[in-house]
Amino acid sequence: MAERVSLVKILDCGARQAIDRVREPQLGNDWSPPCPLPVAALELRSVDLQSPRNNKEHHTQEMGLRRLIVRRGQSFGLQLHFNRPFHFGTDYLTFVAETGPAPKELLGTRATFSLTQARKGNVWSAFDFTIDTNSLLVALFTPANAVIGPYTLKLEISQGQSHSVVHPLGTFILLFNPWNAEDDVYLPSEILLQEYIMMDYGFVYKGHERFITAWPWNYGQFEEDIIDICFEILNKSLYFLENPSKDYSQRNDPVYICRVVSAMINSNDDSGVLQGNWGEDYSRGVSPLEWNGSVAILRQWSARGRQPVKYGQCWVFAAVMCTVMRCLGVPTRVVSSFRSAHNMDGNLTIDTYYDQNAEMLPTRKRDKIWNFHVWNECWMIRKDLPPGYNGWQVLDPTPQQTSSGLFCCGPASVKAIREGEVHLPYDTPFVYAEVNADEVIWLFGNGQAQEILVHNTSSIGKEISTKMVGSDQRQNITSSYKYPEGSPEERSVFMKASRKMLAPRRASSPFLDLLGSGGPEDQPAQLQLHLARTPEWGQDLMLTLRAWRVPDRVHSRGSISLVVRFSAQALLHQGGTREPLWRQTVHLNLDFGKEIQLPLLLPYDNYRNKLTDEKLIRVSGIAKVEDTGRSMLVLKDISLEPPHLSIEVSKRAEVGKALSVHITLTNTLTVALSNCTMVLEGSGLIDGQISKNIGTLVAGHTIQIQVDLYPIKTGRRQLQVLISSKEIKEIKGYRDIFVAASRAS
């Protein structure tokens, strides 16, 4: 009411002058006080979103300083320039923030909030303002549970009951805020935040449990267009296409966002980012082994009308998801599990079969044991679970099976997996089986399983690994997924999970009765296969069979005769094999107390054109005890070493200054490497990629390549180099480079 009275006083200036003349007779009848001029309507002339300062305060400066990118639960400042000074109490400012196709306050996609002197809790607010002549500095606050995404910001100006005018202020992007204790993705460690949000490169661990390879990867989540592509991904999901408003309203929830991204990284249901290919023909795209990072994949998906990029396998899916989730503000890491079970029927048992010639047989069952499998962990609070299951959650974008009708997996609490709480969402039984299933190996003949060769309770889920924080080293995190193998706690958890998973069916595998009869009987001998020297592709492989007698119930300490049949097969990534490429049979007589060491030779010519790009061989042996007919199995998986390349940097790296990089590769093989190509990548060092054709590298020869880079950003960076040839797809190397700011010349 006070504002209305003051307005009347201004309009009725003549009446006020008459009253003042009566009150002030000593001044004479000719004097009258000055009449205040009517106040001009407040008009917005310009706005400064102060992107450089805000982005630095919100840890988004790596995404660029040209546009405003902020994190929820944290205030940011802007400066408004008017035609006159702002008057608090008579000038009214109302801000409107909107996101999504049909913004509504009820859905959390529209917020209307007026300028106040102080913030009012965890709600959209405009406060803490400073008036400086015709400028107004004001702080805007977004709640810690706000919907993430691109917003438009508008300002409504009014004076009292007068007509209001709306001005567009611009746009901003709102992200999750793991630095804020009220956000569901809060991670209370600056060291961990630097690793799991700010680090734009890392390693994916591949290979075999005994031959683990660190594969450098350029996540590139801060490349300038990646954030836009991340929201493109959300806007192409089936959830958005089915109900855009509902989808946007749930984008405040990291659990929901993770599930959407997990489904969208693969293309099994939708126009997802990557098309999987576990065959061996990549002629219509790029081999999964030939990707250096996520940026090229995401840019290709966006530029080609959101058509799936060809091709990906598990490590590519997981690495791209890591890029997207770190970009959106969710702490994320890439995790590899070696000998990972794919247990489709949920019986916690993976059956594999060998014939009497030691050949691993194909199976019609979809269960398999991957040499390794790669997924993600995202850090978040799980308000949908009982207390105690916050923290790291498994998300798996590789399309293995459906979850709620879509090919996605998780989030599954790592703590729930460790404790066998397989009833908790999402997809916890599947992930539990990936790291805990039992392996049962059968001797198969005459159309049926004849005997159990091995019942192994500890061969699945080995060397679960991720990059160590602040280091290029590998960290073994197996203990966060399960108790020590064979410990009372581990078996107790396994039995608890088994009862929950098997109870609805009252059945496990087709051979449950045989399996229930126990494992193989005591064996009269022990067999082991060892490599006699480092296995390198292009050379003969030298192995040694060690065999020795052990006492058993049947033979006591007498000698025994064995017939051992060996087979070598190319080992596929998903755990299957090709036709045998080498066979050998040996006869052994074992006396108690004596050990036999027998050399075995697998010639290069036998495997030269028989392996997959991953260069893995499984050597199997079936030993049959002649007088009892019982069989024993011995296995050895071999990963062939490719040549190594070296990367040297000539001098101190500075932004914008030429940096000379020298790459050296010696072909240590006995055959030439043909059609060699080289690809360099590294966020902050290179805009996109640098590719070169380098022809044929003759056996025994060395090639040296010099490339000049012009670093773009300061700080710790990583250069990734990939050399591919017809013979070997993945010769990889990396070099960590610290880039300094440019010195004045």
The maximal CA–CA distance of the chain, rounded, in angstroms, is: 139
CA distance 631 to 315: 37
- Type of residue at 381: I
What one-character-per-residue DSSP string does 283-300 give?
A: TTS--GGG--BSHHHHHH
CA dist 524 → 121, 450, 586, 633, 701 (Å): 74, 19, 18, 13, 51
- List the helix and strand counts (H, then E) for the chain: 16, 37
CA distance 54 to 453: 64
What one-character-per-residue DSSP string does 3-20 give?
A: HHHHHHHHHTHHHHHHHH
- Type of residue at 90: T
Residue among 334, 291, 328, 332 nearest 312 (CA): 291
The contacts of residue 227 (CB under 8 Å, 6+ apart) are: 63, 69, 173, 327
End-to-end CA distance of the chain: 65
Give the count of beta carbons closer than 10 Å to the beta carbon of residue 211. Answer: 16
Residue 490 assigned to a binding site? yes
Question: Which phi and psi (to 5°) does residue 604 adopt?
Answer: -60, -40
Instruction: Decide: 92 and 108 in contact? Cβ < 8 Å.
Output: no
> Can you give the three-state secondary structure of 349-389, one letter per residue?
EEEEEECCCCCECCCCCCCEEEEEEEEEEEEECCCCCCCCC
Beta bridge partners of 649: 661
- Helices 488-502 and 428-436 cross at an angle (nearest 10°) of 140
Instruction: Decide: 230 and 327 in contact? Cβ < 8 Å.
Output: yes
Q: Which two tokens stand for residue 380?
A: 């978040």
Instruction: Decide: 369 and 235 in contact? Cβ < 8 Å.
Output: no
CA distance 444 to 441: 9
Residue 485 assigned to a binding site? yes
Instruction: Decide: 58 and 74 in contact? Cβ < 8 Å.
Output: yes
Contacts made by residues 649-655, CB under 8 angstroms, sequence distance 24+: 649/735, 649/737, 652/740, 653/711, 653/717, 653/737, 653/738, 653/739, 653/740, 654/711, 654/739, 654/740, 654/741, 654/742, 654/743, 655/711, 655/712, 655/713, 655/714, 655/739, 655/740, 655/741, 655/742
Residues acting as catalytic residues: 314, 373, 396
- To which residue do tokens 């991904």 refer? 233
CA dist 80 → 47, 86, 134, 456 (Å): 5, 10, 8, 69
Give the count of beta carbons closer than 10 Å to the beta carbon of residue 558. Answer: 13
Beta bridge partners of 370: 340
Beta bridge partners of 47: 80
Going through 425-573 in order, the beta strands assigned E by DSSP cover 438-445, 448-456, 462-467, 474-476, 525-531, 541-549, 560-571
CA distance 621 to 358: 5
- DSSP class of residue 319 equals H
- Helix (H) or strand (E) holding 52, with range, is helix 51-57
As a residue count, the chain comes to 745
* Residue set of the binding site: 436, 438, 485, 490
* Residue set of the binding site for Ca(2+): 436, 438, 485, 490
